[in-house]
């Protein structure tokens, strides 16, 4: 079945440092890929998405490129802020079925310090 593997956290960075959170996936067909963010005490918010190979999703300075050859969708940001501290979830949505479910990774906690 579909699965998502994320790098283990927590990740602790100083403000303005570069961020990469690795995500790889296993899926049949042509899944759509997503990054969700969960701020403390809040629900899940869609951060960015990519629906086909080589698409780049971007939002709020975050980027991720759908790499079919390496089955990866790594999240990157050039300069993190304290306000980026949150848990980040990589997810995929399968291409089969009527209402394809999201399969989530385990989440990576990011802590940004001054």
Write out the residues near other proteins by the rule CB under 8 A: 32, 34, 36, 42-46, 49, 51, 89, 91, 93, 95, 97-107
Q: Which CB, 2 or 84, lies closer to other proteins? A: 2
Q: Which CB, 12 or 14, lies closer to other proteins? A: 12
Burial (CB count <10 Å: 0-12, 13-18, 19+), residue 64: buried
Collapsing DSSP states into helix, strand and coil, what is residue 83?
Answer: helix
Q: Which CB, 58 or 100, lies closer to other proteins? A: 100
């Amino acid at each position: 079945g579909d699965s998502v593997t994320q790098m283990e956290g927590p990740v602790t960075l100083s403000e303005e440092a570069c961020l990469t959170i690795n995500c790889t996936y296993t899926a049949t067909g042509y899944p759509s890929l997503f990054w969700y963010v969960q701020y403390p005490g809040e629900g899940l918010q869609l951060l960015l998405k990519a629906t086909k190979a080589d698409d780049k999703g971007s939002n709020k300075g975050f980027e991720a490129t759908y790499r079919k050859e390496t089955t990866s969708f790594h999240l990157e940001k050039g300069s993190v802020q304290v306000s980026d501290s949150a848990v980040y979830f990589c997810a995929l949505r399968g291409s089969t079925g009527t209402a394809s479910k999201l399969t989530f990774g385990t989440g990576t906690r990011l802590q940004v310090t001054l």
